[in-house]
Amino acid sequence: MTFTEWFIFFFVIQVAHGLGTWKLYIKAGRQAWEALVPVYNAVVLMKIINRPWWWTILLFVPIVNLIMFPVVWVETARSFGKNTTTDTVLALITLGFYNYYLNYVADVTHVKDRSLHPKSAAGDWISSILFAIVAATIVHTYFIQPFTIPTSSLEKTLLVGDFLFVSKFHYGARLPMTTVAAPMVHDTIPFLNVKSYLSKPELPYMRLPGFQKIKRNDIVVFNWPVDTMLDMRHTDKFYYKPIDKKTNYVKRSVGIPGDTLSIKDGYVYINGKQNVLNDRARIQFSYDVTFKGQISSNAQVYEILKRFDMTDGLGYDQESETWIIPAATEEAVARAKNHPNIASIEIRKDVMGNRDSGIFPMNPAYDWNNDFFGPLYIPEKGKTITLTAENLPLYKRVISVYEGRELSVNGNQISIDGQITNQYTFSQDYYWMMGDNRHNSQDSRVWGFVPFDHVVGKPVLVWMSWDGKSPRWERFFTTVGGNGKLVSYFIPFLVLLGLIFGFNTWRKRKANK
């Protein structure tokens, strides 16, 4: 929906509210016109139902308001003496239109200064749970979101089984585009395996101000730009998903807006200089390996590899009849070469000019592959480039899909929104996201640029880590990124938690004396 469509929708909602409650406002000692003034009517309504004014804010927070509106419908009925279970059910199933009955038909009286304390233990329990969900939804949507590392594309930097806290506010929290969705789940409701949201109505893209820009080599969580997953099990290349419901990915932003990126012999170059990562990052490549000596089982092979921190298993190339180590660091390989059961380890790299049809932009004019790629300019907001028939394959998806322009080509003639042109000015920033596992990562080399409107947030903390069998205690409460040795803050966290608990216990005992 456009901003104009949302304005009309908002106006209709306000008129519907005013027509359905103006008599109730009068019975509560207010003026009829107060029911028709947008936002102000909600502030007044909070006074009528004896709730704090800041509930008004929650009514306009996407996703949270899905919980708050039913609460307000029920609270309005109860503020006019309608407290039965039947009244509550009618308020909910009529989506608030029960107010029309109260406004025009029922003989009701406003209950001033009514008690807000639930009349039963069950009511108290439901109230507590409800507002715990509201608080958790606000935190999850606008501040911090938990995230799990599912694949090894950043292995040795972030491990499969790492549980992250991802900050939404570093780069600016993105407001939900899907306005009707289950809180605190992504695109699929667990166990039910059904879609967790309605595609319509959909808010335009909006983002709160952040206090930090994405820097080169930052690890970033973003929505997979080419996602067409119908749900977590089914893919349909024609299936539309709102941006904020596309699958979450985590990669390293090796190229930022305005950079010119190339890959030479597997190494990333930015603006002509080799990209240098921090000392915690661990670049990995694939290797051919041959064994010698007494190898009695696959388990023995895996044990040898594990000794050198090669944890992605072992592959086999049927064509060349060679064993493959999918991912290993150069340091690990240098140590492994001295093992008595390893005859040789040779890096697997493509050659310059050998086109990989699965590599961006998937066009015969570009003979790029995983190890030799570019040069490629990464679009920057407000910057203008000259478009040609040659470079159009690089930016076609940016212009037509991410920026929503109508693009057509007639021979060497390019038209955008019906106008013939040879230039284009980008309306947002773009990033080049890659995994540290350079030969075993689906990243921008496959699907291209990541628009800023797809950015979710910045991983800041590994709060738990699980290797599939046992916890990795040394990774609990460790920071993401940075230099120097990995330091766990788990023990200080437990000490702080104990101090807080002890202080609260002491304070309660002192208050009871």
pTM for the whole thing? 0.86
In a domain, 423, yes or no: no
Of 108, 59, 99, 92, nearest to 76 by C-alpha is 99
In a domain, 259, yes or no: no
Q: Which domain holds residue 291?
A: 284-347
Alpha carbon 457 to its chain centroid, in Å, reads 7
> Could you tell me if 15 and 112 lie in one domain?
yes
In a domain, 394, yes or no: no
> Could you tell me if 111 and 149 lie in one domain?
no
Which residues lie closer than 8 Å to 240 by C-beta, 6 or more apart? 199, 228
251 is catalytic: yes
In a domain, 181, yes or no: yes
> Could you tell me if 183 and 246 lie in one domain?
yes
Per-residue pLDDT at 171 exceeds 80: yes
Per-residue pLDDT at 455 exceeds 50: yes
Q: How would you classify the pairing of strands 413-416 and 407-410?
A: antiparallel
CA gap 298, 324 in Å, rounded: 13
Look at residue 187 in the predicted model and tell me its pLDDT.
84
Look at residue 66 in the predicted model and tell me its pLDDT.
87
CA gap 45, 35 in Å, rounded: 8
Of 431, 330, 331, 427, nearest to 384 by C-alpha is 427
Look at residue 24 in the predicted model and tell me its pLDDT.
95
Which residues lie closer than 8 Å to 420 by C-beta, 6 or more apart? 413, 414
> Could you tell me if 205 and 305 lie in one domain?
no
Residues 67-115 pLDDT 10s: 899 999 989 999 998 888 888 889 889 988 999 999 999 999 998 888 7
Residues 279-301 pLDDT 10s: 888 899 999 998 888 777 788 88
Q: Indicate which CATH number applies to the domain containing 185.
A: 2.10.109.10
215 is catalytic: no
Name the active-site residue from 79, 251, 286, 444.
251
Sign of the dihedral defined by the CA atoms of residues 140, 146, 149, 150, in that order: negative
Look at residue 484 in the predicted model and tell me its pLDDT.
76
Segment of 70-74, 155-159, 270-274 carrying the highest mean pLDDT = 270-274
In a domain, 504, yes or no: yes
Query: Given pLDDT bands bounded at 50, 70 and 90, which one contains residue 433?
Result: very high
> Could you tell me if 447 and 502 lie in one domain?
yes
Total structural domains in the chain?
3
Look at residue 232 in the predicted model and tell me its pLDDT.
44
> Could you tell me if 187 and 84 lie in one domain?
no
Look at residue 333 in the predicted model and tell me its pLDDT.
92
DSSP 8-state code for residue 390: T
Q: Which of 347, 371, 392 represents a domain boundary (last residue)? A: 347
In a domain, 494, yes or no: yes
Look at residue 179 in the predicted model and tell me its pLDDT.
84
* CB of 441 closer than 8 Å to CB of 435: yes
Per-residue pLDDT at 234 exceeds 70: no
> Could you tell me if 7 and 46 lie in one domain?
yes
Query: Given pLDDT bands bounded at 50, 70 and 90, which one contains residue 37?
Result: very high
> Could you tell me if 175 and 241 lie in one domain?
yes
Residues 369-418 pLDDT 10s: 999 999 999 999 999 999 999 999 999 999 999 999 999 998 889 999 99
In a domain, 175, yes or no: yes
Q: How would you classify the pairing of strands 273-274 and 407-410?
A: unpaired
Q: Which of 347, 368, 387 represents a domain boundary (last residue)? A: 347
Query: Given pLDDT bands bounded at 50, 70 and 90, which one contains residue 157?
Result: confident
Using CB atoms within 10 Å of the CB of residue 244, give its burial: 0 to 12 exposed, 13 to 18 middle, 19+ buried. Answer: buried
3-state secondary structure 132-146: HHHHHHHHHHHCEEE
Q: Which of 54, 82, 116 represents a domain boundary (last residue)? A: 116
CA gap 288, 342 in Å, rounded: 11
- Report percent pLDDT > 90 for the chain: 54
Residues 470-481 pLDDT 10s: 999 999 999 887
Query: Given pLDDT bands bounded at 50, 70 and 90, which one contains residue 35?
Result: very high
* CB of 360 closer than 8 Å to CB of 378: no
Place of tokens 């010119």: 260
Which residues lie closer than 8 Å to 109 by C-beta, 6 or more apart? 27, 80, 81
> Could you tell me if 185 and 237 lie in one domain?
yes
Q: Indicate which CATH number applies to the domain containing 334.
A: 3.30.70
Name the active-site residue from 79, 152, 153, 167.
153
* CB of 381 closer than 8 Å to CB of 453: no
Per-residue pLDDT at 149 exceeds 60: yes
In a domain, 400, yes or no: no
> Could you tell me if 112 and 162 lie in one domain?
no
Per-residue pLDDT at 237 exceeds 60: no
What tokens were used for 56?
A: 């008004």
Give the up-direction half-sphere exposure of residue 388: CA atoms within 13 A in the CB hemisphere: 4
